[in-house]
Structure 1
Amino acid sequence: MSKKPSLSFWQILNMNVGFLGIQYSFGLQQTAINPIFLYLGAPEEMLPILNIAGPVTGLIVQPIIGAMSDKTWSSRWGRRKPYFLIGALMGSICLFAFPHSPLLWFAVGLLWILDVGNNMAMEPYRAFVGDKLPEKQLSLGYQMQSLFVGAGILLANGSIVLFQYLFGDETVEVAGTIPQWIYYSFYIGAFLSLTTILWSVIKTPEIPPTDDEMDEINKIKALPFLQKAGKPFVEIWDAIKEMPKFMWKIGAVYLFQWYALFIYWQFTTPLFMKTFNYSTSEAASQAAKMSLTYNTVTMIVALMLVPLTLKFGGKKIYALSLLGTAAALFSIPYIADPNLVLIPMVLFGIGWAAMMGIPYTMVSKVVPQERRGVYMGILNMMIVIPMFIQTLSFGPIYKYLLGNNAINAILFAGVFFAIAAFLAMRLNITKSVYEEES
């Protein structure tokens, strides 16, 4: 493969702007979706299973879209961009409709469609960065995505806090009704989901396939429909069989890391309802403030991690960040002041910045260019499988082992982060056989 040209800082920023809209949507999912379920009458122990849309759609959609985008090329639209646009359009429509959900089942159904759209937009984005950047700029590219992860979620949660302050009535909650002040955050998300993706699509040209890649794409186009439809599944299976050992190791880290993250996102609102005796709206607002804090930290430190990982190595920074996240969760339930409880979010924000950047940099260095899309999809499978396990298993764990106590749920998540930190120290990268020729 010929050497890719280095891009300027602003070119790398422009290519990642679309991540802002995608992550705004995920920010609403982390903070606003579960309170909406509670408003519509969902019991706390049902929250994990009601969130099963995320892991199921991620498990199915991302590897398939990754495999398809590897074998796609349009002289007008490119390789990854068509999937960005379709996913962003689906997400935009769902975000506009979500706060109007009249019943719980309607909201749950919309979450499924929203997750399909978000996963369809996000997966090719990971491969897009690897396609465009030489290896020496991969860390900057993926940490730039981490910055936009923080920015998107920051804006989402900041809007929730702002609109509740401006339009919310914290003294009145009507059972079965979603407060109107939540609507505005979703409307902003519907706008950003589409416009930020369009910015990156317009500003960033894709690198055309090589002659060999184009021959392979044309061969697939010439196949009968059924064979063509089955090709992504064959690609996924072949990629799993030939997957680098490093990816199996990172899968072990992800098992504990993402199980713990899903617990945190689901149970921060119930936690503050218990520890501070808050109403659902007050607890949701406090959870949004927590997310505001850690995503602000993520924005600040994301690019600072680039020189640190180059100096000390990705696995050390990653493991230390996970350990800091564990410490944050161990402390949160025992802080009695709603303002002081924001302090542990500094450690959580550093961990979140590392989680959303460092693993992708590592994996991008050890997978072949022509399979980057499908391997980024498989990496996402390693995210959603723990989430899927969590949605099925944690409801009974919460009810029968943790005593329906949100404090115990958060401490449980802290233990899993500590285990993930230990496993991260096993992530040794050897020189890739797929490394670009200089």
Structure 2
Amino acid sequence: MKAIKPRLSFWQILNMNVGFLGIQYSFGLQQTAINPIFLYLGAPEDMLPILNIAGPVTGLLVQPIIGAMSDKTWSNRWGRRKPYFLIGALLGSLCLFAFPYSPVLWFAVGLLWILDVGNNMAMEPYRAFVGDKLPEKQLSLGFQMQSLFVGAGILLANGSIVLFQYLFGGESVEEAGTIPQWLYYSFFIGAFLSLTTILWSVLKTPEIPPSDEEMAEINRIKALKLGQRITEPFLEIIEAIKHMPKFMWKISAVYLFQWYALFIYWQFTTPLFKLTMGYTTSEAASQAAKMSLTYNTVTMIVALALVPLTLRFGGKKVYALSLVGTAIALFSITYISDPTLVLIPMVLFGIGWAAMMGIPYTMVSKIVPQSKRGVYMGILNMMIVIPMGIETLTFGPIFKYLLGGNAINAMLFAGVFFVIAAILAMRLKESNNQMI
């Protein structure tokens, strides 16, 4: 019998999601600051996709494994999900502190791998954590609250980049192989937030103890030999994929085009502005940060407003329409050379980002069993990193040989993929019984 979960207050849901602020600040730096650092350290533009392969690979391996492990974890002191996102936050914090001191390209790439492991360890159990705590009627609010903190975290990250360049960048000339010192401070703030915000949520939000059946399964896993305990998460992932809801197979098709396109956008905004506005790498990186600042401000504003809209019109329609708006935004920015006017399409991008970060998780959380929520949230995130992995391996040659090494063409290519994602999103069927 399904346990009845108590309804939480708005502030309880907010406290529960504060930790997402630090995780997403780190993610914001990855979106906007990591690729410019690679360029500062001498990376050619067509190598940017492959240099970002850490995210897809670590996400593919870490998220489902951690999800499966957290399903079978319980500590009276630390809970079920908390140990994992605490360790992930600590790892991410250390990497963020070290990142601006990268002396050469290979060192920065290596740190990105470790940072991604930490972020993935923290992020996946956090998705399951919200599903564990909230009754079905509050799931939309819970995940859109996460979407709000996605916007807030990335907003702070990119706002700090713009602010510190303005305060300390001056008219300094770029030196090859050197990371500007004004960029250091954003990473130091990220190192602090990564850990402290997670601790806030850990201390403010108790986890719901497992049921007798779940506890029996946890004890069964504990009784296994070490080798069996190591292989158990892999076997559970395979079994979960075999019995995965049809809805999740359909959303994987949407995600294939959506996340491939998003990765192109994040990698090629800096090269785009170097081309369309004649900027240096620093100036283009600052403009990219302003873009992110704009759309994440919009995300913060509209995230909770999407809750009543999805309840009235259905998540599928709101989601699909938001993807169309994102496509329009990408088509638009390629033809605008004014640094202020180019921010206007980011309103549509921000609405799309808010929907992408909340609506799919709400829909999936409603249809997967409580005892396997961690592993299924991990599999959902596999559907994010697989397209990213495909992009890192394929888009470099596509950019160089098919698109003429032109960042404008890259952005138009991403816009077309968002249109395809929107069409596929309209095929989703919302139902409470999609395990068949």
TM-score range, shorter chain: over 0.9
Give the Cα–Cα distance (whole angstroms) in 1 for the partners of residues 318 and 434 of structure 2.
Answer: 24
Please list, as runs of the form range in 1=range in 2, the aligned pairs for 1:104-143 lying within 5 A after superposition.
Answer: 104-143=105-144
Give the Cα–Cα distance (whole angstroms) in 1 for the partners of residues 174 and 213 of structure 2.
Answer: 62
Question: 1:170, 1:281 within 8 Å by CA — same for their partners in 2?
Answer: no
Give the Cα–Cα distance (whole angstroms) in 1 for the partners of residues 117 and 434 of structure 2.
Answer: 34
Residue 151 of structure 1, CA deviation = 0.1
Give the Cα–Cα distance (whole angstroms) in 1 for the partners of residues 141 and 220 of structure 2.
Answer: 35
Three-state SS of the structure 1 residue aligned to 2:11 is: helix
Structure 2: which amino acid aligns with 1:46?
Answer: M
Say yes or no: does 1:347 pair with 2:369.
Answer: no
Residue 312 of structure 1 is matched in structure 2 by 313
Structure 2: which amino acid aligns with 1:309?
Answer: T
Structure 1: which amino acid aligns with 2:193?
Answer: L
Question: 1:45, 1:404 within 8 Å by CA — same for their partners in 2?
Answer: yes
TM value normalised by structure 1? 0.99
Structure 2: which amino acid aligns with 1:112?
Answer: W
Residue 145 of structure 1 is matched in structure 2 by 146
Residue 183 of structure 1 is matched in structure 2 by 184
Report sequence identity in percent.
85
Residue 433 of structure 1, CA deviation = 7.0
In structure 2, the gaps of 5 or more residues are none
Residue 357 of structure 1 is matched in structure 2 by 358
Give the Cα–Cα distance (whole angstroms) in 2 for the partners of residues 171 and 231 of structure 1.
Answer: 55
Give the Cα–Cα distance (whole angstroms) in 2 for the partners of residues 253 and 346 of structure 1.
Answer: 22
Q: Which 4+ residue blocks in structure 1 deviate beyond 4 angstroms?
A: none
Question: 1:64, 1:374 within 8 Å by CA — same for their partners in 2?
Answer: yes
Residue 411 of structure 2 is matched in structure 1 by 410
Please list, as runs of the form range in 1=range in 2, the aligned pairs for 1:260-339 lying within 5 A after superposition.
Answer: 260-339=261-340
Give the Cα–Cα distance (whole angstroms) in 2 for the partners of residues 26 and 290 of structure 1.
Answer: 15
Give the Cα–Cα distance (whole angstroms) in 1 for the partners of residues 87 and 258 of structure 2.
Answer: 30
Q: Which moved more, 1:161-170 or 1:304-313?
A: 161-170
Residue 302 of structure 1, CA deviation = 0.1
Residue 158 of structure 1 is matched in structure 2 by 159
Give the Cα–Cα distance (whole angstroms) in 1 for the partners of residues 374 and 327 of structure 2.
Answer: 31
Residue 2 of structure 1, CA deviation = 1.6
Three-state SS of the structure 2 residue aligned to 1:394 is: helix
Question: 2:49, 2:267 within 8 Å by CA — same for their partners in 1?
Answer: yes
Give the Cα–Cα distance (whole angstroms) in 2 for the partners of residues 3 and 208 of structure 1.
Answer: 13
Residue 191 of structure 1, CA deviation = 0.1
Residue 370 of structure 1 is matched in structure 2 by 371
Residue 399 of structure 1 is matched in structure 2 by 400
Residue 227 of structure 1 is matched in structure 2 by 228
Question: 1:24, 1:189 within 8 Å by CA — same for their partners in 2?
Answer: yes
Question: 2:256, 2:384 within 8 Å by CA — same for their partners in 1?
Answer: yes
For 1:341-378, what per-residue CA distance to the aligned partner results, in whole angstroms no more than 9, with x for missing partners? 00000000000000000000000011100000000000
Give the Cα–Cα distance (whole angstroms) in 2 for the partners of residues 196 and 116 of structure 1.
Answer: 18
Residue 245 of structure 2 is matched in structure 1 by 244
Give the Cα–Cα distance (whole angstroms) in 1 for the partners of residues 171 and 309 of structure 2.
Answer: 44
Give the Cα–Cα distance (whole angstroms) in 2 for the partners of residues 416 and 317 of structure 1.
Answer: 18
Give the Cα–Cα distance (whole angstroms) in 2 for the partners of residues 398 and 83 of structure 1.
Answer: 38
Three-state SS of the structure 1 residue aligned to 2:33 is: helix
Give the Cα–Cα distance (whole angstroms) in 2 for the partners of residues 175 and 433 of structure 1.
Answer: 55
Residue 386 of structure 1 is matched in structure 2 by 387
Residue 430 of structure 1, CA deviation = 1.8
Structure 1: which amino acid aligns with 2:359?
Answer: I
The total of aligned residue pairs comes to: 434
TM value normalised by structure 2? 0.99
Residue 171 of structure 1, CA deviation = 4.4
